Structure 1
Amino acid sequence: MAADQGDGTVGKALDVLDMVAAVGRPVRFTDLLARSEYPKATLYRLIQTLTHQGMLAYDPDRQTYALGVRLVRLAHAAWATSSLAPLARPYLDELSAETGETIHLAQMDNGQVLYVDKRNAAKPVEMFAQAGKVGPAYCTGVGKAMLAYLSEDELERAIQRQSFHRFTDHTLDTPEKLKAELQAIRARGHAYDREEHEPGIICCAVPILSRTGRVIGALSVTSTTSRTTLADLDSGAARIKQTAAQIAAEAESWRFPEQA
């Protein structure tokens, strides 16, 4: 998606970085041009600037571009200062040891879910969610747990960013269905994933809230329908909420970016 006019050159450069990242492998200029809404000269100028600044790396032998090592340094700094992951680590370890199930820690990124940490189950199961991945908010437990506690304005902006693609027969595929679900989540204080994103994957998720009620993240215990039931996961909701409260208490002395 092209940057808004008000974002100027910086917004356009970030668009290019997003494009390169989305490919998931080193990519040629011609491939980026086919994906881009920018004119050839504009795209080339942006890529050259990003390369000179170390944000992109160019391989002259293969004539491809990839994300640069400078981004690794910036990402590490962001993880250490803006992510819940470092301070949440001991609490995730404890919850993982107690449940034997997969634990996900997430934050919201422009209306989507950014997984910032994960603990695998005692018997690991292959699934989409991995630390560093971005997933949909409307059909994941952690996503709905965060959406449910956004302010009205924040929620409307976040809903506009959802694709409402129907991943499974259980996916909530309209804003109306999602809003009804969010109301139920606020009533009980936790969310479920009822095989809404991936067949066979279920979870119980809770929001991580500041003392003022601001959403700073979410936590889930995730399993499979072949191993357990949603009712079994629900029975552990109080323990997940306790862990979320512990993480929130740790976070009070940190400064986090406003979530949107």
Structure 2
Amino acid sequence: MAQTARPGDGTVGKALEVLDHVASYGRPVRFGELLQDTPFPKATLYRFLQTLTHQRMLAFDPDRGTYVPGLRLVRLAHTAWAQSSLAPIARLHLDQLSASVGETVHLAQFDHAQVLYVDKRNARQPVEMFSQAGKIGPAYCTGVGKVMLAHLPPADLARALDLQSWHRFTPQTLCDADSLRAELQAIRARGFGYDREEHEPGILCIAAPVLTRAGRILGALSITTTTARSDLDQLARRAPQLQATARAIGDEAEAWAFPQPPTTD
């Protein structure tokens, strides 16, 4: 889902909105498609696309007449992954947890009231599912999303709930704020949460928050399986191991600091 620029964001915000729209297609996109899906006049949209292409944030294929995210954006994304995501810090913890439980392990962070999957380890017997590293998912109906929502300060939670789509993916999806608030209260009480086939049929998960020592939410960690090979009771037995791994990631993230440049005499 592309993020909409706010009135005070000016030209930069609008250009980033165009960039977001191009990326949201997940494939090369033509000018005519963007013109239909964005609020900008034809000349304005063309100007933004030209600028983003000149700056290598987009790449244009003249043979097909399509735009895709550019290599400069790829470079910036790699830098952001290394400096802003939990993924580099959590890598070994994810490897160990995945090897131990034999199921799919996800690491996610909160991005504009949505879930951003920043890393993933596949099960010994992989299952096709929505989540992939770099993909955005809904917060209100995923295990990682709900545990992150559960640990937001009240004002931030209210804003995040206002931004949820409340689309019913399955019969189990919680589709209103009141129902979800009750679920979030239960998550805070027990320290972990579930996805009970709320986002995808046949997919179950148990999720735990990655927190600072002060209780600030950094991200979330989950173990995901299918109804064909497990159930919620079996997942619940993984909770202590999952929570211990989430705490280890939180402790390491809090202690981590950028390397300092060498001093010169």
Q: TM-score, normalised by structure 2?
A: 0.95
* C-alpha contact 1:82 1:255 (8 A) present in aligned 2: no
Q: Which deviates more from structure 2 when the two are superposed, residues 1-10 or residues 131-140? A: 1-10
SS at match of 1:252: helix
The CA distance in 2 between the partners of 1:49 and 1:26, in whole Å, is 18
SS at match of 1:114: strand
Residue 7 (structure 1) aligns with: 9
The CA distance in 2 between the partners of 1:40 and 1:54, in whole Å, is 21
1:136 aligns with 2:143: no
* C-alpha contact 1:105 1:220 (8 A) present in aligned 2: yes
**Identity over the aligned pairs, expressed in percent?**
65
Cα displacement (A) at 1:254:
3.7
Q: Please point out which of 250, 253, 256 is paired with 1:251.
A: 253
1:24 aligns with 2:16: no
The CA distance in 1 between the partners of 2:154 and 2:8, in whole Å, is 25
Q: Which deviates more from structure 2 when the two are superposed, residues 177-186 or residues 18-27? A: 18-27
Residue 228 (structure 1) aligns with: 230
The CA distance in 2 between the partners of 1:213 and 1:146, in whole Å, is 11
Cα displacement (A) at 1:198:
0.3
Residue 261 (structure 2) aligns with: none
Residue 199 (structure 2) aligns with: 197
SS at match of 2:255: coil
* C-alpha contact 1:2 1:37 (8 A) present in aligned 2: no
The CA distance in 1 between the partners of 2:13 and 2:81, in whole Å, is 22
Structure ranking higher on relative contact order (CA contacts 8 Å, 6+ apart): 1
Alignment map for 1:127-206 (pairs within 5 Å): 127-206=129-208
The CA distance in 2 between the partners of 1:4 and 1:120, in whole Å, is 38
Report Cα offsets for 1:64-116 as digits up to 9, x if no partner. 11110000000000000001001101110110111000000000000000000
Q: Please point out which of 63, 67, 70 is paired with 2:69.
A: 67
Residue 263 (structure 2) aligns with: none
The CA distance in 1 between the partners of 2:21 and 2:89, in whole Å, is 31
Residue 103 (structure 2) aligns with: 101
Residue 48 (structure 2) aligns with: 46
The CA distance in 1 between the partners of 2:39 and 2:192, in whole Å, is 40
AA of the residue aligned to 2:53: T
Cα displacement (A) at 1:253:
2.7
AA of the residue aligned to 1:28: R
Q: TM-score, normalised by structure 1?
A: 0.96
AA of the residue aligned to 2:78: H
The CA distance in 2 between the partners of 1:15 and 1:164, in whole Å, is 23
1:89 aligns with 2:91: yes
**5+ long unaligned stretches in structure 2:** 259-265
Cα displacement (A) at 1:219:
0.2
SS at match of 1:73: helix
**5+ long unaligned stretches in structure 1:** none
Report Cα offsets for 1:21-73 as digits up to 9, x if no partner. 11111111111101110111111111111011000111111111111000000
SS at match of 1:193: strand
Alignment map for 1:203-214 (pairs within 5 Å): 203-214=205-216
The CA distance in 1 between the partners of 2:255 and 2:11, in whole Å, is 35
* C-alpha contact 1:141 1:204 (8 A) present in aligned 2: yes
AA of the residue aligned to 2:163: R
